Amino acid sequence: MIFGQMNEPPGARFRVGHAALTMAEYFRDDTRRDVLLLIDNIYRFVQAGAEVSGLMGQLPSRLGYQPSLGTELAELEERICNTASGAITSIQAMYVPADDFTDPAVVHTFTHFSASIVLSRERASQGLYPAIDPLQSQSKMLMPHIVGERHYRVARAIRETLAAYAELKDIIAMLGLEQLSVEDRKVVVRARQLERFLTQPFFTTEQFSGMKGKLVSLEEALDGCERILKDEFNDFTESAFYMIGNIEEVKNKP
């Protein structure tokens, strides 16, 4: 473990990421092992680079970031790769300033990620846990030849349904659900059922929530989402889908 505390000089914090990667490369190349590299938080690397740039008297670019932001991130991120002797897989936490996904640091960093899981304050405030935003989150590996045709098709259908619901929210807020067309109301019902079905009680929070943790397999999740998209559960309330395991539990929930 390598630490770069916020009370340390920016130069030292800036080199922490490269030092950790050097260690990871040693285990990959010399000991021929597969390495899992955890970085918390990659934004601190960007922040340290901005501070170093300021100390060097460089003219800042947009929003005060260093002009070499893209280059510095690339020099770090592109070292995370596979070779014939092993692989480096990295999981990185990313702080998003003011929840602004157009922030230069966020944009440059996300271009290097193969997949991203974005947490949503709005979903957390609604009690929808895990509070993952399914529209902001994405994966370059969501391809038919990688995850399979069914997984790809269902995932795309879910995103399309949730995106359509997001566009209808303003109309619902102003005019009410009754003013929507029959087809749009069906979209709203599907989306709300999906949002609640995609919640899941954690084993680690049993003592706090009072709900027993649930483990749902990929096939069970796909089956449940597929059946919701086919309008098989229109006679059930939205709350019946909240914090359940497989879709069959809907029928037994009071």
Determine the structural domain holding residue 216 and report its residue range.
Answer: 146-252
Residue 103 lies in a domain: yes
| Total number of domains constituting the chain | 2
What percent of the chain stands above pLDDT 70? 100
61 within 8 A of 104, measured Cβ to Cβ:
yes
Model pLDDT, residue 210: 85
254 within 8 A of 228, measured Cβ to Cβ:
no
The b/e string for 179-216 (b: 16+ C-beta within 10 A; e otherwise) is ebeeebeebbbbbbbbbbbbbbbeeeeeeeeeeeeeeb
User: What CATH number is given to the structural domain containing 232?
Assistant: 1.10.1140.10
Residue 118 lies in a domain: no
Note the pLDDT tens digit of each residue in 68-98.
999 999 999 999 999 999 999 999 999 999 9
Residue 2 lies in a domain: no
Among the candidates 113, 128, 161, a domain finishes at 113
Say yes or no: 150 and 238 in one domain: yes
Residue 4 lies in a domain: no
Say yes or no: 104 and 151 in one domain: no
Residue 132 lies in a domain: no
Say yes or no: 89 and 154 in one domain: no
Note the pLDDT tens digit of each residue in 143-196.
999 999 999 999 999 999 999 999 999 899 998 888 899 999 999 999 999 999
Say yes or no: 27 and 98 in one domain: yes
| CB-based contacts of 176, cutoff 8 Å, min separation 6 | none
Say yes or no: 75 and 155 in one domain: no
Token pair 């929808």: residue: 128
Confidence of residue 254 (pLDDT cuts 50, 70, 90): low
Residue 15 lies in a domain: yes
Model pLDDT, residue 209: 82
**What's this model's pTM, rounded to 2 decimal places?**
0.85
Q: Could you give the C-alpha distances from 16 to 36, 53, 59, 66, 110, in angstroms and in order?
A: 16, 16, 24, 18, 20
Say yes or no: 202 and 245 in one domain: yes
What percent of the chain stands above pLDDT 90? 79
Say yes or no: 155 and 224 in one domain: yes
93 within 8 A of 119, measured Cβ to Cβ:
no
Say yes or no: 172 and 108 in one domain: no
User: Taking each helix axis from N to C terminus, what angle separates 69-77 and 10-29, rounded to the nearest 10 degrees?
Assistant: 30
Say yes or no: 20 and 89 in one domain: yes
